[in-house]
Amino acid sequence: MTFEIREFILLHITMSGAENTGGNRELDVFFKVEYSGFTPRQESWVKNSIRKIGLPTQNLRRVVYLGNDIDGREDWLGHWQRRNFDETHRGELALYKNLEDPNLPEIAHLETMVHELAHANSPLRPENSYNYGGEKNRQRFEHLSREVARQTKATKVFLNPYHAHLYQKLQSGEIDDDVFVEEIQAILVELRVTNPNHLRQVEAAQIRKMIMRGLGSSVSFFDGVSDALVNLYKHGGNPDIKGRVELEQHILKVRNGFGAIPASQREPSFLQVA
């Protein structure tokens, strides 16, 4: 099974928890995105949410809301699927979670959106080198993602339950190495934005096990993921994010707006739609 065959990237319920520095071009591309399946209020909230996350949207052509009551997809969270809408590599981002469920925290939607935007900007695709500020930056993040895959196989220490589920599918032959790595890079980006402390803990646990059991050379990945995100932001329409300090400030603001911080410590949400 090749990576090209596995264009349809999905999430399982087991999941936890060329340079553009002017900014205007990014917004122009964004507002050409087609929205489908949303109420006007939902569409406004999702559009605003994606803009506030701030990851490049040049590859988005359509954002759809499908709900989670489709037979066979009850446990899906979202998907990214490349489509040749206009002879480009743009594609479709779909959301399945109930947007009106009062028991579902906004942070859950943040996790899905960031994960799928990471697929849209995958470092495994050379055509995305533009969003990383060059081919070397893209290759660097692809290499890091493959190294995390290698370290995962050696240690059996996983980033989250979905990562463990993917490893089982890899072992059974249901997916290949490229799909495994593709999902790893998306999980890395997702956790760096939504749960950085957990990402550091997994990094430490993997390295510790590699050393204690003599499993070979270990790889640190937290800073590498941070640098990849800086490149995506800086070259994808957010030139003010020049380094890790600005990245951390931006991520904190995003998580704040999605309710990832206790209400007592939270600033007024900038994602609310009247």
Output the tens digit of pLDDT for each of the chain's 274 residues: 333 333 333 433 333 333 333 334 444 444 478 888 888 888 888 888 899 999 998 888 889 887 665 555 555 677 777 765 555 567 888 887 777 777 777 788 899 899 999 999 999 999 999 999 999 999 999 999 999 999 999 999 999 999 999 999 999 999 999 999 999 999 999 999 999 999 999 999 999 999 999 998 999 999 999 999 999 999 987 889 999 999 999 999 998 887 544 444 434 433 333 2
With CA atoms as reference, report the closest residue to 199 among 239, 229, 232: 229
Please tell me the predicted confidence (pLDDT) of residue 25. Answer: 45
Handedness of CA 34, 40, 44, 50 (dihedral sign): negative
Do the beta carbons of residue 16 and residue 161 sit within 8 Å?
Answer: yes
The pLDDT value recorded for residue 76 is: 60
Size of the chain in residues:
274
pLDDT value of position 12:
36
Handedness of CA 181, 113, 159, 128 (dihedral sign): positive
Give Cα 87 distance to the centre of its chain: 24
pTM (global) more than 0.85: no
Work out the angle between the directed axes of helices 177-194 and 196-212 (0-180°, nearest 10).
130
